[in-house]
Amino acid sequence: MLIAVVSDTHRDKSTIKKLGEIIEKADIMIHLGDNVADAEELGKVYRNKIINVRGNCDFGLRTPLERLEEVGGIKMLITHGHKYDVKNNLTQLKSRAEELKVNIALFGHTHVSEISFEDGIWLINPGSASLPRDGQKSIAFIELKDGEIRPSIHSV
């Protein structure tokens, strides 16, 4: 199974169009917020399952701030990250992930891509697909195969 993880697209229509092509091979697309409407726009070209949460720049109440999902036997915490102060450190996010007993915590908000593995938990930030702060527009892919989790960052 292949999961595409996207965050912080911020209504960049050219990036959204490009993402539709890049993620087409994924079984599931997860959008981590900023902007929720972009996940809806991607849904016009991407026909597989979409999971999304809202970020600090999203104001619709229909979309949750965080979700707990199980995909292929893997438990994931899905959040934008702003309520866990991820711009300063990942302590609160990791604590929440431990509390929920998840395998993966997905977050955005920082606009900087990052993958780390701490105490049995993958902490994955795909970076920003439109406004990166690390100089590289990016998304993440997570391959779930034979019980293994294989995350990677890809340029957009």
pLDDT, residue 73, reads 92
Distance between CA atoms of residues 94 and 120, nearest Å? 10
Fold held by 2-155: Purple Acid Phosphatase; chain A, domain 2 (3.60.21)
pLDDT, residue 147, reads 86
Element containing residue 22 per DSSP (H, E)? helix 13-22
pLDDT greater than 90 at residue 61: no
Instruction: Provide φ and ψ at 42, rounded to 5°.
Output: -60, -35
pLDDT, residue 90, reads 98
65-124, pLDDT tens digit by residue?
999 999 989 999 999 999 999 999 999 999 999 999 999 999 999 999 999 999 999 999
20-57, pLDDT tens digit by residue?
999 999 999 999 999 989 998 999 989 899 999 999 99
Domain boundaries, the chain: 2-155
Distance between CA atoms of residues 66 and 45, nearest Å? 24
pLDDT, residue 80, reads 98
Three-state secondary-structure class, residue 123: strand
Distance between CA atoms of residues 46 and 17, nearest Å? 10
pLDDT, residue 70, reads 96
Distance between CA atoms of residues 117 and 109, nearest Å? 19
